[in-house]
Structure 1
Amino acid sequence: MEDLTSRMTQVLTQNQTQTHTTNNDSSAAAQIGIKLDGSNYPLWSQIVEMYISGKDKLGYINGDLPQPLSTDPGFRKWRTENAIVKGWLINSMDTSLIGNFIRFPTAKMVWDSIAITYFDGSDTSQVYDLKRQVTKVKQAGGSIEKYYNDLQRLWREIDFRHPNPMVCPIDIQKYNSIIQEDRVYVFLDGLDDRLDKIRSDVLQLQPFPTVEQAYAHVRREDIRQAVMITGAENNSGAVMASKGVNIGKQPL
C-alpha cells in the first residue's frame, strides 16, 4: 500500500515552498496542490479539509453552517462563501470527474457525495490487511525511528478506516486507552533483543504510557547505547594506536 503519510508530506511541503502572489480566495484552488482522481481520496480529503479549515470555512462542508432562508439577512454572504468553497472542491478534482458533482447546489452536498463515491473505509478486507501488516513490522536491526514510523503510518491508516465507534466522551477515552495499550505492546514486542531492559522498564511505568511516550523512553536508551558503543570503539582505537607507537619505539 502506498505510503499516505509520505505523499501528504510531499504535498504540504510543495504548498509551503510555493510563492503566492495573491491571498485572494479565488486563487485558493490552485494552492491546494492536489487533484482528486478517484484513487487518492484519503489523501485528497485530508489535504482539502485542512486547507478549508485554515480558511475558517469548514462549516460549509461539515454542516456547521447550514443554508439559511433566502429572507435571512446573512443569506447573500452564505451564498457567496458557499460558492467559493464549492469552487475549491470542484477545481481540486480531475476534469473527468467534475461533471459528476458540479450540479450539487451546496459545498456540503459536493463533499458528501465525493465521500460516498470514493471513501472505501468500510472495506473490512483493507482494515484486515493493514492489521496483518502491523504484525509483520519489526525493528530487525534497523533504526528505531524507521520502525516506529512504519508502525505509526499503518496505525493512522487503520484509525482513518476504522474510527473510534464510541459516542460518550468517557467511552471514547476508555476505548482510546485500550487501543494505546495494545499498541505499546506491539511496539515493544517488535524491538531488537538489545533493548530488552528498557522494554521491561516501560512495562513497569505508572501510569501506563502511550505509544508516543513508550517510543520516547526507548529512543533515549537507543541513543545511550549508540553513544556507549561509539565511545568504546574510539577508546579501543586509541589503545591500538598507542600500542603501535610503542612498538615502533622499541630499540633494535
Structure 2
Amino acid sequence: MGDNNGASTAVTTTELAALLQAMDERYRLLFDAISKQAGNSRPELEIKEEIHPLQVPHVKLEGSESYASWAEHAETILVLRKREGYVLGTVKKPLEEDSKEGQRWRATNALVRAWLLSSVSPQIAKQVERIKEASEIWRLLKGTYSGVGNEMLACKIQKELQRLSQEEKTVVEYVSELKRLWSDLYYYDPVELECGKCVEKFNKWIEKRRTRDFLNGLNSMFENRRVSLYGNGTLASLEQVVSAILSEETRLKLEDTGPTTHGVAQIRSALLATGGGNLQRLELNLDDKKCFECGEPGHMKMACPQLTGGGRGRG
C-alpha cells in the first residue's frame, strides 16, 4: 500500500508541474499582448499632448515697445507646456523625417510656428510667415524687435519716469506704472556687473533711488507720511515704503467717509483759513444755519445744547 501511495504522489506532482507550465505559457501570451497594447497606446497619448493648443499671450508683438512684455508672456506659456526647446533651438530636427521622432517633431514645430504667427500683429506675421522652423522665427523676431541697447527707447522711458507723478491715480496704480517703466528701462539699458559685491551694492543703490522717486511723485495728501519716512535716518526698502503709504491711503479714506469727522475737519480748516473779518463773516453765515438736532438757528449739531448739555452755543 505504501508503494501505491508513493506512485500516486509522484504522478500528482508531475501532473501539477505540467499544469503550472501550461498556465504559465498561456498567461505569458496574455501579458505580452497587454504590454504590447500599452506600448502602442503611449505614443498616442504623447502625440495628443504634442498637438494640444497653446494659450495666446495677453500681449501681442506689434513693435519694439511691446517686445519685452510679449517675449515674457510667450516664454512663460512655452515653458509651462514644455515647448520652449522648439523656439530656443535646443530640440533639434531629427535626421530621419519619416521616423516617429521626425513626425512628432514636425507636428510640434508646426504647432509652435502657428502659435507664434498668431501672437504677433498681421504686419509682423507677413515678414516671417514663410519661415518653416519656429526657432528661426523666434530668432528673427528677437533680433529685429528686442531693442536691447536701443538708446532712443531708453531715452523715451527715462523721460516718462521723470514726468510721472501720482496725480489722479491710486497708490497701487501709481507704483505699478513706476515698476513697469523701471523694468523696461533695465531691459533696454542693462547694467552688466561681474563682481558679486558690486552687484549687491548696485542693487541697494538703485532701490534707494527708486524709493525716492516713488515718494517724490506722491500727492500732497501724503506729505506728513513722506516727511516721517525721510526723517527716520535710514530710508526703508521700497516694499516697506509702499506698504506704509498704502496704509496711510486707507486711513485717509476712512477719515473722509466718517460724517462727523468730515464735518469737524471742514470747520477746523475753515477757521484756520480765516482771520479777522473773515472769521466774523463765517459767524454771520453760521447764524443763518439751522441745527440738524433741534432745528434752532445759530449753531450746528456738534454744538447743540441738547447734545452738549450747555446753553445756546454758536457753531
Aligned partner of 1:245 among 293, 307, 312: 293
The letter for the 2-side match of 1:54 is: L
Aligned partner of 1:28 among 45, 54, 71: 54
Aligned partner of 1:53 among 63, 79, 86: 79
Gaps of 5+ in 2: 1-47, 267-285, 297-305, 307-315
Q: In 1, distance between residues paired with 2:245 and 2:60? A: 40
Q: In 1, distance between residues paired with 2:162 and 2:292? A: 50
Q: Is the 8 A contact 2:57 2:73 kept in 1?
A: yes
Residue aligned with 1:226, SS: helix
Q: Is the 8 A contact 1:35 1:94 kept in 2?
A: yes
Aligned partner of 2:262 among 205, 228, 233: 233
* TM-score, reference length from structure 1: 0.67
Bigger shift: 36-45 or 153-162? 36-45
Mapped pair 1:222 → 2:270? no
Superposed CA deviations along residues 193-229 of structure 1, whole A, max 9, x for unmatched, are 4423322443467985442332111110121133234
Where does residue 186 of structure 1 map in the other structure?
Answer: 213
- Sort the Cα spacing of 1:169 and 1:25 in 2 relative to 1 into closer, same or farther, 3 A: farther
Q: Is the 8 A contact 1:121 1:160 kept in 2?
A: yes
Aligned partner of 1:136 among 152, 163, 166: 163
Alignment of 1:5-24 (within 5 A): none
Bigger shift: 212-221 or 149-158? 149-158
Identity of aligned residues (%): 21
- Distance apart, 1:246 and its partner CA: 2.2
Mapped pair 1:70 → 2:95? yes
- Sort the Cα spacing of 1:181 and 1:60 in 2 relative to 1 into closer, same or farther, 3 A: farther
Where does residue 165 of structure 1 map in the other structure?
Answer: 192
Superposed CA deviations along residues 16-70 of structure 1, whole A, max 9, x for unmatched, are xxxxxx98836437x446654556534433332232222122233235x242763
Moved over 6 A (4+): 204-207
- Sort the Cα spacing of 1:101 and 1:194 in 2 relative to 1 into closer, same or farther, 3 A: closer
Q: In 1, distance between residues paired with 2:165 and 2:86? A: 43
Q: Is the 8 A contact 1:104 1:110 kept in 2?
A: yes
The letter for the 2-side match of 1:67 is: K
Q: In 1, distance between residues paired with 2:242 and 2:129? A: 46
- Sort the Cα spacing of 1:37 and 1:219 in 2 relative to 1 into closer, same or farther, 3 A: closer
- Sort the Cα spacing of 1:155 and 1:35 in 2 relative to 1 into closer, same or farther, 3 A: closer
- Sort the Cα spacing of 1:88 and 1:169 in 2 relative to 1 into closer, same or farther, 3 A: farther
- Distance apart, 1:182 and its partner CA: 0.9
* TM-score, reference length from structure 2: 0.56
Q: In 2, distance between residues paired with 1:33 and 1:230? A: 37
Residue aligned with 1:28, SS: coil
Question: Which structure is richer in relative contact order (CA contacts within 8 A, separation 6 or more)?
Answer: 1
Gaps of 5+ in 1: 1-21
- Sort the Cα spacing of 1:224 and 1:99 in 2 relative to 1 into closer, same or farther, 3 A: closer
Q: Is the 8 A contact 2:68 2:184 kept in 1?
A: no
Residue aligned with 1:48, SS: helix
Q: Is the 8 A contact 1:67 1:75 kept in 2?
A: no
Residue aligned with 2:293, SS: helix
